[in-house]
Amino acid sequence: SSSSSSSSPSTPYAASSAAEARASPAATREVSKKPVWWLYDDFSGPVREGARPQVQQLVRLLEGAKQSYGRDVNMGDLCQLKLICQDNSLTVAPKTASGRDSMFRTAVEGALDAVEEGRASVGLGNDGVHDFLTGLCVAIGVPQDRALTISSGETAARLRSLLLQAVVSLRTKDDLDLLKTLIRIDNVLTTMPFPLKDKAPEVEVITRSLRNSINAEEGRKIYAQFPQAKEDNLRMMRAMLDLSV
């Protein structure tokens, strides 16, 4: 989100990458196979097959975006696909599971962008973030457990990145950027919580990946400036920063 982390010599990047934060231990799946944000399993209205050619064309466009247009999957197209499928109670199967997962991963990244900024909705249809993600999963057939794995992994990677950015702001004494970053973390924790909250395996992965990047004093300073209103989020911060306070 911020470019300040790329040039400063104090940038605390550990050898472990964001990919480690995406590694989602299987233990989570034993307790909950459904994301906290999952709202429904099927579309409720009448099926209108007349819209299927439009749905299939949009899926082919998304599948071929890289090859045909030299660009990644577009959030606007994903929002449109979800809306058309929901309005007509249609589902569509992408050619491959990896293509399907790629579409959903892009949707999660876009949802996290909106959540970070404090926006409650995404896309032209002003879908709530949870409704958008659930509806897209139903539309393209992302199983609940796969949706949980992808969304938890992307959320963990985003939180790790934001915490690293917070340390850079702390070290460079950029108080305004630190405050903005901590508000973004608070927003993500509120809207995209892990099923097991501070006991989630993803939290342990974040903690481990940050251990060589944030010292105890920096962790305490960051925690002291974190928004104090939500106890669940405070517990998450203590866990991620490896604080006993």
The pLDDT tens digits for 16-44 are: 445 545 554 444 444 568 999 999 999 99
pLDDT at 193: 94
What is the CB neighbour count within 10 angstroms for residue 181? 27
Q: Read off the pTM.
A: 0.84
Long-range CB pairs of 121-128, under 8 A, 24+ apart, other chains included: 122/75, 122/79, 123/75, 123/76, 123/78, 123/79, 123/80, 123/82, 123/83, 124/76, 124/79, 124/80, 125/79, 125/82, 125/83, 127/79, 127/82, 127/83
CA 36 to chain centre: 12
pLDDT band at 3 (very low <50, low <70, confident <90, very high): very low
pLDDT band at 124 (very low <50, low <70, confident <90, very high): low
pLDDT at 166: 97
Buried b / exposed e over 80-109, threshold 16 CB at 10 Å, is bbbbbbbebbbebebeeeebbbbbbbbbbe
Residues 124, 32: Cα–Cα separation, whole Å: 32
pLDDT per residue over 162-196, tens digit each? 999 999 999 999 999 999 999 999 999 999 999 98
pLDDT at 155: 97
Residues 233, 190: Cα–Cα separation, whole Å: 7
Find the range with the poorest average confidence among 5-14, 107-116, 155-164. Answer: 5-14
